[in-house]
Amino acid sequence: MKRFITLALALCMVFGAALNASAAEIKASGNMWVGYDYLNVDNEGKTTDFKQRFRTQIDIVASEALSGTVFFEINNTWGQTNATNTGNGSGGALGADGVNIQTRRAYLDFLIPSTPVKVRAGLQGVALPGAVSGNVVLNDDLGAIVASASYSNVDFTAFYGRPYDAKVNGYDKSESSVDVYGLIAAINFDTITVSPYFVAANVGEDAGVADADNGLYGDTQWYGVALEATPIENLVLSFDGVFGKASDEDGGFLVAGKAAYTTQYCVPAFMAWYGSGNDGSDNEGRMPTLDNGGDFVATTLIGEGAVGPMSDSVLGDARGKWGVALEASEITFIDKVSHVARIAYVRGTNDDDAAGLDIENWSDDDSAVEIDFTTTYNMYDNLDLVADLAFAATDFDNDNANENVDHVFKAAILAVYSF
């Protein structure tokens, strides 16, 4: 009997050690938004939608050297669904029960043994440096392998990604994919950080992604730099510059600068940018982008500047436009209530003869003045109530397909729970 008990205890110790060795810590985080979105595009129409979004990220951490992450999202617009009640945005109509869970990210993180190199492989967020207001070329989720390491005051990152891949009957075409390669360096000094980067994309002829809006054709390359400096206390100066060119076509660029100063009552800032436009009907001169260009947020309506899962990029992105803006953020008069206010003047840089001039793509005769105001009330530690307002008075030339639009008004109110 004693031998049996001893053997049982030994087996328990062995299995217990095995279980402890394979145990992993699971962490969950995310947020949920529920709100109302109103958009009125003068003489074109309006939308009045109730929307909600749920996001959760689950990290399975084995050790500091190994972890896995999955990131899910559910979007609904009340009263709307798809024909089969499946896919993105389904399940908002009567009865709900949509099959609509999106896998935004799913990746592994691990350290290469005996080295400082960290590798992340899988569906993940890849963002190029953007000091002023995000990056206009790439800031999105895609399948990629990213390797990063630090040496002294320099952080290095190299990545490979495949954002697009077309197949016929399950097989590759001759040139069916888009492959992206990138190098990033962040050089950190006492009061300044300089982040140069280079990206190359091999766009297959049969990938089916080349169009006049993104400008992706053949071998496309980008050269850029982001810079952030704090020359004196409370003052932050930022600069972004990027040039991109597709195959034998004319290249394009975007440059932007911002100065922000922190005071006791708010953070006033001045921002300006210039994005080259198309020279004529050949649609060459505007910089190509891997994404839709909206991650450089110029205003609420230009770029993806709307708060929450609401209307974004109503007036397009910053490419093919120039603008100046005065902004004040972190304005606080009442405890737990903060505001952001902005006024901007924007004009197009595309030629009058450029194709596809509309509410998103402007010629140098098209302009607008936009006023934005956002209020956030921190009701609880994890719950915010947000009101987001934007108004743009537009002046479109008769060459623009939306010349009858004189103004755009957007209003949203939403509750945001973060956990």
Of the two residues 320 and 6, the one the predictor is more confident about is 320
- Please give the distance of CA 168 from its chain centroid, rounded to a whole number: 30
Burial class of residue 116 in the structure, from the number of CB atoms within 10 Å of its CB (0-12 exposed, 13-18 middle, 19+ buried): exposed
Write the pLDDT tens digit of every residue in 194-242.
999 999 999 887 777 766 677 787 899 999 999 999 999 999 999 999 9
Query: Which residues, at least 6 apart from 142, have a Cβ–Cβ distance to it below 8 Å?
Result: 123, 124, 126, 161, 162, 163, 180
Number of residues assigned to the chain: 419
Longest dimension (CA), the chain: 98
In this predicted structure, what is the pLDDT of residue 279? Answer: 87
In this predicted structure, what is the pLDDT of residue 4? Answer: 40
- Please give the distance of CA 107 from its chain centroid, rounded to a whole number: 18
d(CA 137, CA 318): 11
Write the pLDDT tens digit of every residue in 325-372.
999 999 999 999 999 999 999 999 999 888 889 999 999 999 999 999
pLDDT at 145 over 50: yes
Provide the 3-class DSSP secondary structure of residue 4: helix
Write the pLDDT tens digit of every residue in 105-121.
999 999 999 999 999 99
Write the pLDDT tens digit of every residue in 283-333.
789 999 998 899 999 999 999 999 877 788 999 999 999 999 999 999 999
Q: What does the mean pLDDT of the chain come to?
A: 90
Structure token digits, residue 392:
């743009």
Q: Is residue 5 within a helix (H) or strand (E), and if so which, with residue range?
A: helix 2-22
pLDDT at 388 over 60: yes
d(CA 269, CA 329): 8
Q: C-alpha angle with apex 106: 307 to 197, nearest 5 degrees? A: 70
In this predicted structure, what is the pLDDT of residue 378? Answer: 97
Structure token digits, residue 159:
């990545």
In this predicted structure, what is the pLDDT of residue 224? Answer: 98
Amino acid at 284: E
Provide the 3-class DSSP secondary structure of residue 275: strand
In this predicted structure, what is the pLDDT of residue 171? Answer: 72
In this predicted structure, what is the pLDDT of residue 12? Answer: 45
Q: What is the DSSP letter of 334?
A: E
Structure token digits, residue 166:
């077309």
In this predicted structure, what is the pLDDT of residue 174? Answer: 65
Q: In the predicted model, what is the mean pLDDT of residues 254-271?
A: 97
Write the pLDDT tens digit of every residue in 39-91.
999 888 999 999 999 999 999 999 999 999 999 999 999 999 988 888 888 88
